[in-house]
Chains A and B, each alone.
Chain A
Amino acid sequence: MKLGILINEGPFTHQASDSAYQFATAALKKGHEIIRVFFYHDGVYNSTKFADPPSDDRNLVQQWSKMAEEHGVELIVCVAAAMRRGINDDALAPGFQISGLGQLIEAGIEADRLVTFGD
């Protein structure tokens, strides 16, 4: 199955990105394809390399980057939502790309299922 994932919240205030990451990990383990993870609303905060949580906490930004590197998962950050929140190309962690909202609609069209995680 081809999956698209939409994440609407940042990596710390809400569990959304954690749940999405655990779901995505399980999906990859089962041999499914994740065609795109789209970050919208405060979800764009998952993309900033300046996130620096304490060393005894998980670093979701790095986890997503690693998933992109190891599994070729596309991590797309909405440009309009990112600009509002002060995130640009210079802030992006490895594997993340800034693009338009059309990428979310395309994911909905091309994926067999679109699964949303938010607040």
Chain B
Amino acid sequence: MLHTVNKSPFEKSSVTSCLRLAKNGSGILFLEDAVFAALQGTSVSDVVAGRAKDFQFYVLGPDLAARGLSEKPVIDGVEVIDYEGFVDLVEEHDAVHSWL
């Protein structure tokens, strides 16, 4: 399963709910305002980094860039992808769960 999350972890619980309920081994893509969850040095970095062994994390680069965050370091294990990479992830996983 590929999970996508689009909410800021500082505003909504989508990121923590996804981390609680996604099955280990899943892919999790942060896009839109959820890209903040992929960054080092935030109040939620440890929460995400602590699950890097359970999930493969991805973050949508164009959404980071739009928010002026392209140069900020992402958490170890988070892969930065573009929209074509997003399409590839959808193809590689058997279903997609969007945490709206």
Contacts and interface: CB of A to CB of B under 8 A. Distances in A.
Nearest to B32: A15
Contacts of A116: 96, 98, 100
Chain A at the B interface: SS class: mixed
B9 to A, nearest CB: 16
B95 interface: yes
Size bracket, chain A contacts: 20 to 34
B87 interface: yes
Given A15-B32, A113-B95, A23 B100 contact: no
B90 A113 contact: yes
A45 B11 CA distance: 25
A84 to B, nearest CB: 20
A27 interface: yes
Interface in B1-57: 4, 6, 31-33
Given A1-B91, A117-B98, A118-B98, 16 more contacts: A1-B90, A19-B6, A22-B83, A23-B83, A23-B86, A23-B87, A26-B82, A26-B83, A26-B84, A27-B87, A30-B87, A115-B96, A115-B98, A116-B100, A117-B6, A118-B100
Interface of B: 4, 6, 31-33, 62, 82-84, 86-88, 90-91, 95-96, 98, 100
